Chain A
Amino acid sequence: MTEQHPIVATPLPEGADRAYAKSIAFRYLIASTVILGASGILGMILRDSQAGAGRVPDAWYYAIMTAHGLGAFVGWGAFAVMGLAWWVMAEAGFPIRRFGKWMAEATWWLMVGGVFGVVVTCLLFKFGGSWVFLYPISLYGSGVWGKWTAFFFTFSVLLAGLAIVTWCVGILHTAVGPALGAVSKNPINRYFTSIGWGYLSPKRFATTGKGVPYAVIPLAVIALDMIIATLPLAVMLILLLVHTFVASVTVDPLWAKNILWWFGHPVVYLLLFPAVAVYYTLVPKKAGRPLVAGNIIAIGWAIAVTANVIVWAHHVYIDYPSGTIQASLNVISQPLTFSVTVVSALSLYSLFFTIFRSNYKWDTVGTALFLGLFSWFSAGLSGMINATIAFDQVVHNTLFIVGHFHQMALEGIGFAIIAATYAWLPEFVGKKLYSDRMGRWHVWLTFSLGTLNSIIWMYQGIHGAPRRYAVVPHHWNALNEWAVPVTVALVLAQLLFAWNIIQTIRGKGENREVRTWQQVAPVVVAKAVVVSGVVVAIVVAGWALGRHVGQTSAVAGTAPAASAPTTIGGGTVASGKTLFTASGCGGCHTLAAAGAAGTVGPNLNTDAPAFSKSVDRITNGGGAMPPYGKQLSAQQIKDLAAFITASSGGSDDSGG
């Protein structure tokens, strides 16, 4: 290894190439920010419903959960960083050539189409398979969604998957283009040059210039990996689509799970790695010094490009069916997963020490980047728990995971997107940022509230609270009320972001003053105190409110309807009908009056159970049926039984 001079990229000069990169990045950014707003509101509805404030019926809960997951992760996170990647390339001096432009356009349309399809199938047709829709759940809608809804949902996800592939092809085409300055004409050699191998072997991967700009490396790495990761998933999605017409075409569930995570792990890095490219580009600008990275960082990326596509099995640590090699795959996956963290450790070192003892600019962009780096560091540490088999058994599918990835995605990655928006949106539209002060408020509020939100989940999860439960079971609902004000304030804080963006685009911007730590230190400390105070006040107020709402809704739930048209045994038929649908009875039972066609349990139309039998079964369960005596009040059970008796023609043996 020979030590080279620090690499400082030369951005594209003003002209057609730079203008195109601006316009395409701007389009991606605006579309993804709109999706962020929508997904954020859905997320708040989910969290508050889970906490008992504004309960959403279960079927809607899981449909919203599916839309929120795909919307926030793919529609916001992935879409935004994919757009920013085009601009990072321009800042590194890499023009998007004609083929790359086709790919950039195709990606935008595929992504918009995919997100639209997901929104329609989830929010209009209640597809609720969750964003991983583990095969074969999309075929088992329990009467909530049917095969055509599953078909169009799968098709929409396929569109988003294809968007990822076209983006990757476009990025690869851009990265290995003439701007790379690679001496070799061999595309494979040029690819490895673009991921920084010239820093390790300058002769074999020779360049005419100083070497590949650091920010290009993560983009070229993930562009190759995501093609490898996405193609098997695309094949599986196509098989699922074919299954709609040819029922004999199925997929093995174990293969399906592995293929899903073969894609599902790298797709996390589809967000992280371009975010790293943003950090590599912006942090040196704010610090006024080149990225403190030596040749060693190329080793980190060499590990990453390989390990990224072979560590998927850490998502299935607690799957090891008899007679399969899954347990061995899982064991190998732990050291491999550990190895993929090396690139994060090295990048965090480089970025933090680029800031260290520099004249760092603590404006909105600088603050967002810095808080993002801390969040990435912190979420990376909790990620080590998930990566370890012995620990994963305790936190798998608990709210701990939800807390971890919200911290990582919303803050570790999200702050790179937010910083990039504040830094580059003004440049994209050729205007000044509306308000740097408002930007700093937005960033600090998002950081404190987002972190608090994650801490609550992690605390509940580490005590065993399951994830993807429409209602958190009573053992773990201790901190629930706290989540309500936090999520509401988190969403409200984004209004500052929206307003800043709108006013910037409208050209209402101010002259930005760039300040140093010395100038802002007292203000930052004062602000931290005020923000914490406001947060605590909101939390306490909201806690009281949440408690109040929880109590009143509990009362409302048990209160009998004022006017009772038909009653049997003290149960109201009309209330029972609503409850039948809301409690998901139709998932297992057929009952024509409720439009239910479940086949797991007895058909209530033919079984026509007597009133007392219904009350007993609902309360105590029986056979495969779980007891509902704890979830439903005595009155609710009577209502249900009354409805079942009345609509199925069962005998009224209530004696009243």
Chain B
Amino acid sequence: MGRIAIILIIFLLATTALAAVFTVWVAMSTRKQRVQSDAETHKLRETEKAWFVIVIVALVALLFATIFFTPYGRSAGSNGQVVKIEGVQFAWILPTTPIKAGTPVEFDLTSKDVNHSFAVYTKGGKLLFQVQVMPGYTQKYVYTFKQAGTYDVLCLEYCGVDHAKMQAQLTVTT
């Protein structure tokens, strides 16, 4: 499991726990029979403005914490390897030249027919990266393999009846 997956699980568990505690608190607050007061309703409406500010601040914080981590505009540099891969219902046409670990690889991905998605996993099932492959366009993705070995390639965009069989293996050498 990747680092981001761990962050996501922590994020989900923490926020869901908070949501659950809040929800139970609201439910418990209805236990006693009360006389409704307009003053209380009015106060709760006023507090909504504070909540609005909290939400905006939280969203801006999450935005700045994450927006700089996009896969866009990466370059393999001058010593990078260019690897052309083509997707077709229901196979990956892979290069015969070996891919080297340690140096950046620029994958140039195209499709002969429909939309596919090029996803590379370790043998243990950990997702390293995925990127969409569209007919009529070249999609680039830059990745540096840390270790030599065999990696699994899956198609992650539904592409027809044998979508689940559109798998291949990528060999990375030292």
Contacts and interface: CB of A to CB of B under 8 A. Distances in A.
Please provide the 7 A-B residue pairs with the shortest distance between their CB atoms, ordered closest to farther. A475-B125, A321-B137, A390-B69, A464-B127, A327-B72, A468-B158, A360-B30
A92 interface: no
Contacts of B140: 322
Nearest to A465: B125
A395 B8 contact: yes
Interface in B128-174: 129-132, 134-140, 154, 156-168
Interface stretch (B50-58, B76-84, B97-105): B50-58
Contacts, number: 289
Nearest to B113: A140
Contact residues of B: prevailing secondary structure: mixed
B45 to A, nearest CB: 4
Interface string A137-176: 1001110100000000000000000000000000000000
Interface residues of B, number: 88
Given A320-B72, A355-B26, A466-B119, A587 B90 contact: yes
A289 B12 contact: no
A292 B165 contact: no
B45 A294 contact: yes
Contacts of A6: 41, 45
Interface in B83-127: 88-93, 113-115, 117, 119, 121, 124-127
Interface of B: 1-2, 4-5, 7-9, 11-12, 15-16, 19-20, 22-23, 26-34, 36, 40-41, 44-49, 51-52, 55-56, 59, 62-63, 66-67, 69-73, 88-93, 113-115, 117, 119, 121, 124-127, 129-132, 134-140, 154, 156-168
Given A144-B160, A296-B49, A378-B20, 10 more contacts: A58-B162, A62-B161, A136-B114, A257-B115, A294-B49, A318-B131, A338-B62, A381-B19, A388-B62, A476-B125
A289 B31 CA distance: 16
B59 A338 contact: yes
A626 B161 CA distance: 14
A394 B127 contact: yes
A587 B160 contact: yes
Interface residues of A, number: 106
A254 B90 contact: no
B63 A584 contact: no
Most buried by B among A288, A390, A395, A470: A390
Interface stretch (A106-114, A269-277, A437-445, A514-522): A514-522
A192 interface: no
Contacts of B119: 466
A456 interface: no
A390 B7 CA distance: 11
6 contacts: A334-B67, A342-B55, A389-B71, A397-B117, A464-B125, A624-B93
Contacts of B73: 327
Contacts of A327: 70, 72-73
B137 A626 contact: no
B122 to A, nearest CB: 9
Contacts of A566: none
A391 B2 CA distance: 11
A253 interface: yes
A142 B137 contact: no
A607 interface: no
Given A294-B46, A377-B23, A381-B12, A390 B70 contact: yes
Most buried by B among A254, A394, A475: A394
B41 A381 contact: no
A320 B72 CA distance: 8
B161 to A, nearest CB: 5
Contacts of B41: 6, 289-290, 292
Contacts of B166: 626
Contacts of A517: 27-28, 30-31
A484 interface: no
